Amino acid sequence: MQTHEIRRRFLAHFEHAGHTPVPSASLILDDPTLLFVNAGMVQFKPYFLGDAPPPYATATSIQKCVRTGDIENVGHTTRHNTFFQMAGNFSFGDYFKEGAIRHAWSLVTSSQDDGGFGFDPERIWVTVYENDDEAERLWQDVAGLPLERIQRRGGEDNYWDMGVPGPGGPCSEIYYDRGPEYGLEGGPVADEDRYLEIWNLVFMQDVRGDSSPKYGAPPIGELPQKNIDTGLGVERVAFLLQGVDNVYETDLLRPTIDRVQELSGRSYDHGTPEDGVRFRVIADHIRTGTMIIGDGVIPGNEGRGYVLRRLLRRVVRNARLLGITEPVLVDLTTVVRDAMGPSYPELVTDFDRIVSVMRAEEEAFLATLTTGSRLFDSAVADTRRAGRSVLSGEDAFVLHDTYGFPIDLTLEMAAEAGLDVDEGAFRSLMDQQRARAKADAKSRKQGSADHSVYRRLLEAHPPGEFLGYTDLQAATRIVGLLVDGQPVPVAREGDTVEVVLDNTPFYGESGGQQPDTGVIRTTDGTVRVDDVQLPVPGLRIHRGVVTHGTIGVDTAAEAEVDTDRRSAIARAHTGTHLVHAGVRNALGPAAAQAGSLNAPGRLRFDFTSPSGGIPPALLGEVEDEVNTILQEDRDVDWYVTTMDRARELGAMMLFGEKYGDQVRVVDMGEYSRELCGGTHVARTGELGMIKVITEGSIGSGVRRVEALVGLDAFRYLNREHVLVNQLAEQLKTPTEDLPERVSGLVERLRAAEKELEAVRAREVLSSAGSLVDGAEDVGGVALVAARTPEGVTGGDLRSLAGDVRGRLQGRPGVVALFAPDGEKVSFVVATTEGARDRGLAAGDLVKAFAPAVNGRGGGKPDLAQGGGSGVAGIDDAIAALRTEVSRAV
């Protein structure tokens, strides 16, 4: 049975049982606890946690998941994948244990002619939580399983929670006996390779406290509503039903292995065990990388980007180890598209963007691999010559930091070379490099109330209607009021408040669009609204200050949005859509939106660009194209439609966003059509104009365009016009000749600076004779230690030290020159051959005096240099040098 058919049967089984089919969420959700979605229940977390009411009583989905914690097991075991598909059915207060067991047993054991998977019931085993008598009884009553094929296990195996206080419950896992040729008798507790887990049923019934029942702590209560969360491993069911030995040989991964055989000329089925692992790693990682890029991630050095980069680089390196020297990622991505496309059509429609990312990453890594491998081999040779078996942390750090050679690759290659790596020292050096604080990329405005207060407000007052698409003023009612994070019936003048309305025209900050401001008025008081946020899904909080009188809960009110601010933000948001379209037209589908800011009169648009930035001339063309659309005064329409229809229309979708079956499309004809919940103008002409201000890199593979819109753009151009006119007047040249005139001035300035440097160098070098004349005798060594004039460059300082040393040849001599520059100081030490014969090495002398100037440095015995931040310590440094020379001779 093909994997796509397994997916179809699963969904059909539960749809027939009344479950609502829910599309897979993106691998990237707005969840700070996860790099990637790693389980089928993740998109339903708000319903399990009570943050939002579920829109259906039962649901079913097949969720794409990524787990990289087992990356080292990939290729070595029969069942580990980094990307996998989790099929699940969910009940939110509807059926419970009996229903979950009945649904699962029916699908697993029903014949394939009847729409089931057709597993032999006599080969099914299950496990239950150690004290779950009810589940054990139900498996006997509902499924007819004999007691000897029902095994009890402890909390670490058969209890589930989210890892934090909240909902949890016992599990029951379904296993299939692959037969005695695969391992020991005795059920799952004896051998989990022979008895393969295919489905986990979680009976969510408890509330856990700070400690988890997984490790023996009792639950602190029962959930008021019992839920079901299950997960079936699609890939595991596939390899059982397809009669292969592991997940890598199923219909979705075997084509990649076959293609690697063609490219390498090596055999997967009859090759070495080491080569077998390499084939499987490539097949797994290229699929995972394709799916991750498909959801909008690009390779980088942190977070999701680093995980992706690591996976792709493991593909390239394992291909190299199989003898493939040509680029391979694009070729293998094509195989993945063909295998996965029937279930994930976005891989087909976004293929050009995906392969452009693959191509750029492989080109960059091949250059790194060539240089890094050479340096790695040198470090290994040095380590072995020194009789050591551990590659130093410093070597690993230099490979990583200077040459971009990832540490995991260093670890793998070192292991292949029979060496360990001093990971502790490497991590310490990395920590030192990262000592500076890093601002959180996603600042979260959570307000003064904790989420439990917000959840209670939402439960008491389900989401009202957002009126702001059509109305900026509306009659409403105050249904919730917080002061200092606590519910209150009344707030008075001067109080900082959070207000919940039963319906509202105010837009809450989301999707890159800044929030509305305005006022809420009642007959007794007024609130100035400064901010609007959505702290939990569905709840719109209006934050501000009571500026007059009092306001109270259950009071009629008038809500009025600041129309000037809203209009300016709407112009910016529409402008962002147009810039997005213009950039994609210029760079192709690889330029996918990676973030935005829509503020009054200005916009910021971030986009992925593996090949680099937009050349200035091309950026000018983008700006001209967008402003042409403004001049045409096109209609800006919006409408709600189905996700399938939106795809048919070619509407752009933002990666990482979660969309429902019904979506809102903002449509400017064929030029721009995007899914968007923000507010926009009615016609493009309302923007006036768009002026791009900057374009530049904000990280690996991510660029940022900033632009002004409308009156702000006009004001900017006016300031530029005044500035240009002032320059033209000062330089006595027409404005059109300014570039040539300024270029000529710059060239003249550079020539003058070079001439000045030459004069200064001659002056500095002319002092060599007087410095030699001033040499003092220290134990038979001529010591020249002096401070040079302010502003002497490092190159001049070295030249002067060399000149002085040359004049001292024939006798032991040490030259130490200090060049102050503000509060900093540079220094150079040079020694003659006679001084070195007496044990005086320049590098050692630097160590003796550098602390006096808060500095450091080093070099060879004949020449050393460095710098410090303590210019006031130069005299002390000279004294320390004199003492060291005297001591040494």
Q: 13 is written with which tokens? A: 């089984």
| Token pair for 64 | 């794409």
| CB count in 10 Å sphere of residue 35 | 18
**CA distance linking residue 218 with residue 834, whole number of Å:** 81
> How far apart are alpha carbons 151 and 127 in whole angstroms?
5
Nearest CA among 337, 333, 349 for reference residue 260: 333
- Chain centroid to Cα 505, Å, comes to 34
Query: Residue 597 corresponds to which amino acid?
Result: L
Residue among 827, 822, 833 nearest 847 (CA): 827
Burial class (CB in 10 A: 0-12, 13-18, 19+), 465: exposed
676 in a labelled binding site: yes
Token pair for 702 = 């991510």
Q: Residue written as tokens 């609502």?
A: 20
Structure tokens at 87: 């099929």
Distance CA 147, CA 136 (A): 8
Could you tell me the two tokens for 387? 């009789």
Q: Give the torsion through C-alpha atoms of 495, 500, 504, 506, to 10 deg.
A: 50
Phi then psi dihedrals of residue 468, to 5 deg: -70, -10
541/483 Cα distance (integer angstroms) = 12
φ, ψ for residue 583, nearest 5 deg: -65, -40
Tokens 């410093």 belong to residue: 394
Is 76 annotated as belonging to a binding site?
no
Cβ atoms of 645 and 18 closer than 8 Å: no
Pair of tokens at residue 421: 């790596």
The structure tokens 């303590």 sit at 870
Angle between helices 738-766 and 711-731 (to 10 degrees): 60
Per DSSP, the residues of 631-649 read HTT-B-EEEEEEHHHHHHT
CB atoms within 10 A of CB 86: 23
Token pair for residue 581?
């379209």
Q: How far apart are CA 410 and CA 420, in angstroms?
A: 10
Q: Is 13 annotated as a binding residue?
A: no
Of 541, 648, 655, 546, which Cα lies nearest the Cα of 596?
655
19 is in an annotated binding site: no
Task: Could you list the residues known to form a binding site, using ranges.
Answer: 573, 577, 676, 680
Q: Which residues are annotated as a binding site for Zn(2+)?
A: 573, 577, 676, 680
